[in-house]
Amino acid sequence: MKKIMILLLTLLMVFSFTGCNRNGDKPGEDEPIKIGLTDAFTGDRAGNGQYTKEGVDMFLEYINGKGGVLGREVVVVYEDDQGNETAAVNAYQKLILENEDLTAVVLNKYSSVVLAMEPYVADSKIPAICSGSNVKIEQSTNPYLYSTRRSDYGSGATMAAFIKQEGAKRVAILYSPDALGKGMSEIVIAKLQEAGIEVVSSQQFSEGEKQFANYVAKIKESNPDFIVCIGQTSETGLIVKAIYDAGLNHIKCIGNSAFAQATTIEQAGLEASEGWYSITAFAAGTEEEPTASWIRSYTEKYGHAPEMTSVTTYDALSMICYAIEKANSTDPEAVNAELKKILNFEGIAAVYSYNGNPMLANSEFVIQIQNGKAIVLTKVIG
Amino acid sequence: MVLQLFITGISMGMLYALMAMGLILIVKAVGVLNFAHGQLFMLGAYITWSLTNQLKLPLWAMIIAMIVCFCIVGLSFMFTVYWPLRNSPWKVTVVISTLGASIALKEAVRLIWSFIPLLSKPLIDKVIRIGDAVMNVQYIFIIIISGALMLFVYFLFEKTFIGKIMQATAQNRYAAELIGIPSVVAIAGTYMISMCMSGVGGWLAAPLFLVSQSLGTFAQKAFAGIVVGGFGSIKGAVVGCVLVGLIESFSILITDAYKDAVVFGVLILVLIIRPTGIFGEKIEEKA
């Protein structure tokens, strides 16, 4: 009896491993092409996931409307990463284990979450495109990781150059406690100091902060002539409003991409956000095509303007499908090889090229909020 | 700047105290800490947003509708989260149930009202300046309305017969029923009042912090205030919450990033030095 049990268990294990073999079963030619996607669909960052999903739906409608890729329908398989590192690692592993025929994966915009998943991306050998911008993503040597963004190093340098150009002498900085805030503020401070500009106040606000009056009081006390703010869309509206309420709206203010988003302007109000500058990968107020038409279609479809994540996800999926077509295959290795050949790919948010590091975008906008619209002042390339 | 820190500290402290009141009521009624209280606070903000912006009710009608809605929510919460588990041999079962309810409420709100934070207009959209400090007029409403509600709860529990009934039910439901107290009515009344207090808190906080699913996080500070003040004491909760607000606000002078660590560090210190909290002893004597 014991021997039979051992034999049965051994057979079970053999079949289990066979089932886990990625290369064991090839998907049929008429089966849909599967692309995985992890983002926050529950929890405090669920809003980001919803915008992402809207971008995905726009893309799938477009691509499948014109016959799919290689004559096959494209489908996206979702997994909820809750916007936090631990859940993200589990979500990524679940996605890979439950979907053996994934061609590529799209990851979210939170750099710390992407960095937590990065080793698993390398292990699975499936190309993954995120929208994180942290310098550590740029420095990653993982051959399967890409980002639809320019790195914080570039954005920070652009921000510092703009502040210098505006003639600032005393700068106050307020930043979020995540990878974005810490990483980008370090670069901005270093670049400002290089340019001989004094950083009179540098504050990192608490996780989940909602009350910014005290931080702004500290900024006011440092008497700056330029204010730099770095944060996520969950807090940017409150920061802009707090600066306005404190009567500091006569001081020039600049923020990262979240400060250029429609939700920030709506939450802070038109008066409070008027005149703010932002360095952003995606400018909702741009007149440039095809971005302007895309934003109009999106707004008509969903009744609200897109966030950066809607557009970068759309672009990530576009690049993956382009690579599949070029490779004439859904094999992850073949698609990965084609992604490395991406050159001047015209997306909605930017023009993308692979330059030997994960950051595919090499352009950004300096915008200013005027009458509630993000107006492009300059396009920075390189 | 010190004045700004003081104003912010008092204002936030009063907001925490309003949340704490609702929590204390449930503790007094059924002896259980409600971990979904922050989410009920958030739900209050969403309900009042809908009544004002979707149904476009005038203020007086909105207040009446808001109270009716909160009473229904309070009753529903009690009969789904507490009542079926009330006779469980483990008291912690109800606590776990409230934890589950907090997740369910958060996701339900996301499904009903979507994910985009909503704008709620303040009663008076103005900022007043006191020297170098600024104060949103909404905070004055928070202080006045919170103060009035706290007095109401204090008198209800300490000075009225109904309050005594509620306390008797909380201390020993079986004995209370033996002397003819309808415990279900007493507990239902407490849940309704508790939800009304949370809901009003959510309504008042929404114009300052947006109507979003993260509004519930304020409950952590209310919990801290209750423990600092002395668990179960209404006066203690108010004092504790204002203290938490002030500590949180003034901690920016030491650290900007880790002010929550300072608040909870003080909480641990209080528990080490005086485990019963500031007003804890008095409660023990009364019990």
DSSP string spanning A170-205?
EEEEEE-SSHHHHHHHHHHHHHHHHTT-EEEEEEEP
Which 3-state string (H, E, C) describes B57-108? CCHHHHHHHHHHHHHHHHHHHHHHHHHHHCCCCCCHHHHHHHHHHHHHHHHH
Which CATH number belongs to the domain containing residue A264 in this structure?
A: 3.40.50.2300
Chain B residue set in contact with A, beta carbons under 8 Å = 1, 4-5, 8, 12, 107, 110, 114-117, 119, 127, 129, 132-134, 136, 208-210, 212-214, 217-218, 249, 252, 256-260
Angstroms from A203 CA to nearest CA on chain B: 6
Strand partners, A130: A147
Amino acid at A4: I
More confident of the two residues A309 and A363? A309
Contact A46 B213 (CB under 8 A): yes
Contact B133 A220 (CB under 8 A): no
In a domain, residue A12? The reply is no
Strand partners, A375: A368
Residues A160 and A276 in one domain: yes
Q: How far, in Å, are A12, A13, A235 from residue A16 at the CA level?
A: 6, 5, 47
What's the rounded Cα separation, in Å, for the pair A374 and B33? 47
Q: How far, in Å, are A132, A285, A309, A337, B285 from residue A136 at the CA level?
A: 10, 30, 20, 22, 59
Chain A residue set in contact with B, beta carbons under 8 Å = 42, 44, 46-47, 49-50, 177, 203-208, 210-211, 213-215, 217-218, 220-221, 234, 237-238, 245-247, 263, 266-267, 304
In a domain, residue A14? The reply is no
More confident of the two residues A76 and A28? A76
Residues A60 and A86 in one domain: yes
Smallest Cβ–Cβ distance between B1 and the set A217, A245, A266 belongs to A217
- Residue A375: is its pLDDT beyond 50? yes
- Report pLDDT for A382: 66
- Report pLDDT for A23: 42
Burial group, residue B3, by CB count within 10 angstroms (0-12, 13-18, 19+): middle
- Report pLDDT for A2: 56
Q: For residue range B58-93, what is the model confidence (pLDDT) as tens digits?
A: 999 999 999 999 999 999 999 999 888 888 888 788
- Report pLDDT for B285: 44
More confident of the two residues B115 and B274? B274
Q: What does the block give as tokens for A24?
A: 């064991």
Contact A210 B214 (CB under 8 A): yes
Q: Which one, of B127, B136, B198, lies nearest residue B8 by Cα?
A: B136
Judged by average pLDDT, the poorest of A107-121, B72-86, B162-176, B208-222 is B162-176
* Nearest residue of chain A to residue B113 (CA atoms): A47
Contact A214 B8 (CB under 8 A): yes
Measured between beta carbons, the chain B residues lying within 8 angstroms of A221 are: 1
Amino acid at A226: F
Q: Cβ atoms within 10 A of the Cβ of A362, count?
A: 16
Q: Which residue has the tokens 């057979």?
A: A11
A202, A206, A236: best to mutate for the B interface, most B CBs within 10 A:
A206
- Report pLDDT for B156: 82
Residues A84 and A182 in one domain: no
What's the rounded Cα separation, in Å, for the pair B271 and B277? 7
Measured between beta carbons, the chain B residues lying within 8 angstroms of A205 are: 256-257
What's the rounded Cα separation, in Å, for the pair A349 and B55? 38
A108: alpha, beta or left? (left if phi > 0; alpha if psi -120 to 50): beta
In a domain, residue A36? The reply is yes
Smallest Cβ–Cβ distance between B1 and the set A47, A210, A218 belongs to A218
Angstroms from A310 CA to nearest CA on chain B: 14
B6, B127, B210: best to mutate for the A interface, most A CBs within 10 A:
B210
What's the rounded Cα separation, in Å, for the pair B2 and B132? 10
Amino acid at A144: Y
- Report pLDDT for B177: 81
Q: What is the mean pLDDT of chain A?
A: 88
What's the rounded Cα separation, in Å, for the pair B202 and B206? 6
Angstroms from B9 CA to nearest CA on chain A: 9
Angstroms from B239 CA to nearest CA on chain A: 21
Mean pLDDT along residues B195-223: 88
Per the structure, the count of domains in chain A is 2
* Nearest residue of chain B to residue A267 (CA atoms): B119
Cα-based torsion angle of the residue sequence A284, A286, A289, A292 in order, rounded to the nearest 10 degrees: 40
- Report pLDDT for A10: 55
In a domain, residue A16? The reply is no
Angstroms from B174 CA to nearest CA on chain A: 40
Contact B115 A46 (CB under 8 A): yes
Contact B116 A237 (CB under 8 A): no
Contact A237 B214 (CB under 8 A): no
Contact A215 B129 (CB under 8 A): no
Q: How confident is the model at residue A27 (pLDDT cuts 50, 70, 90)?
A: low
Query: Could you write out the DSSP letters of every residue in B25-60?
Result: HHHHHHS---TTHHHHHHHHHHHHHIIIIIS---HH
More confident of the two residues B168 and A319? A319
In a domain, residue A82? The reply is yes
Judged by average pLDDT, the poorest of A282-286, A310-314, B124-128, B212-216 is A282-286
Contact A211 B12 (CB under 8 A): yes
Mean pLDDT along residues B10-20: 90
Owning domain of residue A264: 153-280
Residues A226 and A327 in one domain: no
Residues A126 and A174 in one domain: no
Measured between beta carbons, the chain B residues lying within 8 angstroms of A263 are: 116-117
The question of ipTM being above 0.90 is answered as no
Contact B8 A213 (CB under 8 A): yes
Angstroms from B96 CA to nearest CA on chain A: 19
Measured between beta carbons, the chain B residues lying within 8 angstroms of A215 are: 252, 256
What's the rounded Cα separation, in Å, for the pair A185 and A209? 18
Contact A220 B117 (CB under 8 A): no
Residues A40 and A122 in one domain: yes
Q: How confident is the model at residue A3 (pLDDT cuts 50, 70, 90)?
A: low
Contact B117 A217 (CB under 8 A): no
